[in-house]
A and B are shown apart, each in its own frame.
Chain A
Amino acid sequence: MQEVRLEVNGKRISKDVPDQTLLSELLRDILNLTGTHIGCDTSQCGACVVHVDGKSVKSCTVLAADINDSKITTIEGLSQNGKLHPMQEAFKKHHGLQCGFCTPGMVMSAIDLLKNKKNPSDQEIRDWLEGNICRCTGYQNIVAAVKEAANKS
């Protein structure tokens, strides 16, 4: 067992977990933060993307013990006082989702993009979202949403 101490969405937590526990499992099964989705479980689809110390990672391919003392932000940690994050607003406005399964990962990944690049081009948005797979939208509205969020921030 490993004692894992983390700050998750601003809240300090400490849990004893088996050594092989993945961050995605810790979030979903132990902390009940089921907004982080598990799609492929082999770090290809990006549905499980969360931020670890501000950087986007695929939580299905990170051991919980490996990121001890880090700050984690999940999709549940984005809205403030009931107000959606600008990226969430933009996805809603532009209908950047259909079934919604990939959306938490898309949003978390897109927010990391804007930290790295304030005004990305369409191509830069598409390149960045290479690790996030959506089987519904054809990506067009996702790109439009990210673009608007970039313009507004």
Chain B
Amino acid sequence: MKNFSYHTAKNIKEATKLASSKTAYLAGGMTTLPAIKLRMAAYSDLIDIKKIKDLTGIKVSGKTLKIGATTKHADVASSKEVKKSIASLSSLADGIGDPQVRNRGTIGGSIANNDPSADYPAACLALNANIHTSSRKIESSKFFKGMFETALKSGELIQSVEFQIPEKSCYVKFPNPASRYAIVGVYVAKFKSEVNVAVTGAKSYVFRCEEIEKILSKNFSESSLNSLNLKTSGLNADIHASADYRAHLILTLAKKAVASCK
């Protein structure tokens, strides 16, 4: 690995003070460390934020569920509060990577990385999440900007993710049998006045499928999607799945999600 200096930050102020365009925050390291090893990334310093108590934890208040940035996938998956308020988010966390990745990987790390096939970004878009950072609050519709790109500025630290609790919701993904990353994942969330459908794995980054949302907002049923044909323009095509296949998967998974919504 390329050399870097490792620091532990005691609090948010200390972490942001150490940060620059050449540094990275380190939480679970499940993406950062492999990226450094593969020479896809190089940093002068890694700033470990796991000791900062304010950045971890799960809290339900009123109509929102707030999860601290360094909360691990395994803790989200096993949390009673999450199961009770947004069960689909609990099962999403339980399906990320493998048990060892879930024991280290964090929600903040996942959304800061914005992998085109990551699960949490779909949850953020479907559940109208607000991303709280060291300097502001960002709506998730404005947070995910492109492949591995987010609205985060240099040194800006994610503190927590605040999800709106829906009436019902479900996340269904079709994982690549080898990597277990989503070839396509669809998150359906029904709120009182709207239905959100977020899709991961199918384009260069997570997006909301307005065609499906429009239909489900009028008639929230599996059969209402029967006559829909999705356009394939902009959809990923690779050795794992063609654009046509991904379009078909979006619709199929959306139907499955609607059928299993609770």
Contact = CB atoms under 8 A, between A and B. Distances in A.
Interface of A: 2, 18-20, 22, 41-44, 46, 49, 55-58, 61-63, 65-66, 109, 112-113, 128, 130-132
A56 B33 contact: no
A3 B179 CA distance: 35
B33 A63 contact: yes
Contact of B104 (A20, A41, A44, A61): A61
A17 B179 CA distance: 32
B37 A57 contact: no
Given A41-B37, A42-B38, A130-B99, A65 B104 contact: no
Contact of A66 (B2, B6, B97): B6
Contacts of B26: 63, 66
B99 A56 contact: yes
A112 B99 contact: yes
Interface residues of B, number: 27
B29 A19 contact: no
A122 B22 CA distance: 47
B99 A61 contact: no
Contact of B99 (A19, A43, A128): A128
B6 A61 contact: no
B167 interface: no
A135 to B, nearest CB: 13
Nearest to A18: B3
B104 to A, nearest CB: 6
Q: Is the interface of A mostly helix, strand, loop or mixed?
A: mixed
Contacts of B4: 19-20
B1 A43 contact: no
Contacts of B83: none
A44 B31 CA distance: 12
A66 to B, nearest CB: 6
24 contacts: A19-B3, A19-B5, A19-B6, A20-B1, A42-B38, A43-B33, A43-B100, A46-B100, A55-B103, A57-B100, A58-B101, A61-B30, A62-B29, A63-B33, A65-B6, A65-B48, A66-B6, A66-B29, A109-B100, A112-B99, A128-B99, A130-B98, A131-B99, A131-B101
Nearest to B1: A20
A130 B180 contact: yes
A109 B48 contact: no
A28 B206 CA distance: 40
Given A42-B38, A46-B100, A63-B6, 7 more contacts: A20-B4, A41-B37, A43-B30, A61-B104, A112-B99, A130-B98, A130-B180
A44 to B, nearest CB: 8
A57 B98 contact: no
A57 B104 contact: yes
B6 A46 contact: no
